[in-house]
Amino acid sequence: MTMTTPRPTRISRTTRQTGQNPASPISPISPASPAAEPPHADAAPSPIPSPVPPHGPAWRACLDLTAAMVIVGSSVAAARFVSLTLPPHLVQELRFLVAACIAVPLLYRREGGLPRLPARDCAVLFLQAAAGSLLFNVLLLAGVARLDAAAAGVVTSTTPAVMTLASLVLLRERPGPRALAGIACCVAGVLVLRLAPVPGVAGGDASGPLAASGVDGMGLLLVLGAVCCETLFLLLGRTLRTPVSPLAASTACTLFGAVQFLPLALPEAHRVTELDVTGWLLVGYYGAVITVAAYVLWFRGVTRVPAGTAGAFTAVLPVSALGFSALLLGEPVGWAHLAGVACVLCGIWYVTRR
């Protein structure tokens, strides 16, 4: 990446260290900055984010943040639909191409193109794309093929707690009692999904024995693996040495993601004829709305409210996933789903609370 460097502009430490993931339906949240990270990465209201003000037009920011998390929640249901009815890797490849067609012109318009980066930082961005674009989506698609979208939405919402736990184990950071309580609540939410009987899913039929498991265990592990890949994406972002704006970092990861998915998409290329009008609309929604628009809304919102306030809106994600699962996919929602959501909401509250 050796394109024209834009005029130097001061970049906040949070932006420089973490970056954003254009590929995941999760709102990545760093323990050090609970809500600084948007859920997707492609565009921002200004080339470089300004520091979060203590006050602002709260009602508009709240609408933006809520809309972003509703879109992110819908992406879990979209992944479930893709995994069951369409060539999943081909859809992901087309999704990244659509997103790139939007992100690259936007980057040139706002910042003049990708900045000059040393080989080391290019490698970091490539590894970030491998973790957050390739592995995340491969594991998520495999997981939601075995797991209902509602349960998958609950599991993906545990990212703030997993990030806190990873910082404890890998970075030797010491989380406070609230962070530990948040981790415990998220773990409880996943255990409820696994152990409690869930009507309408494998092993969880209410007519079966009470000893039957809830949602599919392998599906849970696959989605948890996707969450761990998202966490790795965030940790890798902390190693960038050159200041990179969120728009530039996300555009680079989008382009790398398109390249990395190509070997998986080519064997499915002959199935492109399976994409009917609904399939192509879903590809467009994936690329333009989930990958780009959600980020625009989220980042516009976080620039107008304190980080702790923005972090609280990640609680919309599991509720949104639950709603889309029931309304669009017709999947049953049992008490275990509701209990899991309640546990994860408590965990998010503890982790993001200041």
CA distance 256 to 149: 27
So what's the pLDDT on residue 239? 85
Q: Residue 172 — left, alpha, or beta (φ > 0 → left; ψ -120 to 50 → alpha)?
A: left
When pLDDT is cut at 50, 70 and 90, the band that residue 191 belongs to is confident
Nearest to 329 by CA among 20, 79, 25, 40: 79
CB 89 within 8 A of CB 261: yes
* Lowest-pLDDT range of 115-129, 197-211, 258-272: 197-211
Q: What is the pLDDT of residues 52-98, one digit of tens each?
A: 444 445 778 888 888 888 898 888 889 988 988 899 999 999 999 99
Three-state SS at 46: coil
Q: How far is CA 220 from CA 63, 149, 313, in A?
A: 31, 11, 24
Q: Where residue 214 falls among pLDDT bands split at 50, 70, 90?
A: low
Name which residue leads in pLDDT, 52 or 314: 314
- CB atoms inside a 10 Å sphere around CB 44: 26
Cα(317)–Cα(324) distance, rounded to whole angstroms?
11
Tell me the pTM: 0.74
Distance in angstroms (rounded) separating the CA atoms of residues 226 and 220: 10
Measured at the alpha carbon of residue 85, what is the angle toward residues 95 and 296, in degrees to the nearest 5?
30
